Amino acid sequence: MEKQKIGIPRGLYFYFFKDLYIKFFENLGVEVLISPPSNPSILNEGTKESVDEMCLPMKMMLGHISYLKDKCDYIVLPRIDNYGFSNQTCTYFLALYDIVNNMGDFKLLNYNIDEAHGQDETDGFLKMGRILGFRDADTLKCYRNAKEYAESKKRKMWLQNYKNLSKKNKKILLISHPYNLYDEMIGKPIVKYLESLGVTIIYSDAFDPTLARDKAKQISKELYWIYSKEALGSIPLSRERIDGMIFLSSFPCALDSLAYELAMRKVKKPYLYLTIDDVHSLTGIETRIESFIDIIEQQV
């Protein structure tokens, strides 16, 4: 019997759950197909399926989903509403499943996370296992093993972040969401450019998220977007050992425009706010980064 093939789009959720997904499906003995790194072709395809108000990562995600169409049996696409009443996600994390269903005939492997109403990740993975024809006991075993593996990978990332905080050269806290930081066309060019200037990057997503959410209360006690809390919580966790911070947002993210504004009013370190859109040139951004680094060097 031919293996089922599961497609995982390399956008949005991918950067939160890639290790969990890949290990889970490998444990089940299911073939995994990941869309390629973001490129102009994928962005152009996603833009065709988008409306103007959609943010750049959303356009990228739609492009990755379109790439996988007809290449696999299912495309993984969760509907993630919240992790409790005070830990809401972006509206697109909730709406994406329905948006894609309206794009065409996609065979989606879907599950819900709505902890405020009793639907958690374990329930979701059991649902995926049933859709694929596996017994709950086998699915649960594969999920728990994958979860342990993914958590161990995260702990290694946190440890490396703390090691980088101890380095002597210029250290910049790069504040953004994983789907920005690690996307080939959004955050990666900025990361590479900073590294070419001899900067050590401290990643906002490479701290224990539970601790970061608690520390985010020092920035704002009213924020209820979980990923904004995790990004801003990195500031109290690192500010004594960094030289400056860069807020990286993608146009036109309303959540970031509010959350980052709250943070910038309170930080005491030099900061730079960058907004990335779907224009491919980074010339102006590189100039701003150079000027920012010059300011930091003059203050040392």
pLDDT digits (tens, 9 = 90+) for 108-136: 999 999 999 999 999 999 999 999 999 99
User: Residue 279's pLDDT is what?
Assistant: 65
Residues 173 and 139 in one domain: no
Same domain assignment for residues 85 and 180? no
CATH at 88: 3.40.50
Say if residue 19 is in the same domain as residue 92: yes
159 within domain boundaries: no
Strand partners, 172: 201, 244
What does the DSSP 8-state code read for residue 123? H
Tell whether 281 and 221 lie within a shared domain: yes
Do residues 187 and 241 share a domain?
Answer: yes
> Backbone phi, then psi, for 274, in 5-degree steps?
-115, 135
Which of 118, 148, 178 is where one domain is finished? 148
Instruction: Report, as ranges of residue numbers, the positions in the chain whose pLDDT lies below 70.
Output: 1-2, 279-281, 300
CA–CA distance, 136 with 86 (Å, rounded to integer): 30
Asked whether 276 and 251 are in contact (CB, 8 A), the reply is yes
Closest by CA to 56, choosing from 38, 77, 34, 37, is 38
pLDDT of residue 283: 77
Enclosing domain of residue 29: 5-148
137 within domain boundaries: yes
> Is 97 among the domain residues?
yes
How many angstroms separate the Cα of 295 from the Cα of each of 113, 187, 196, 265, 298?
A: 44, 22, 17, 19, 5
pLDDT of residue 184: 95
Out of 113, 148, 183, a domain closes at 148
Domains in the chain: how many in total? 2
Residues 123, 33 within the same domain: yes
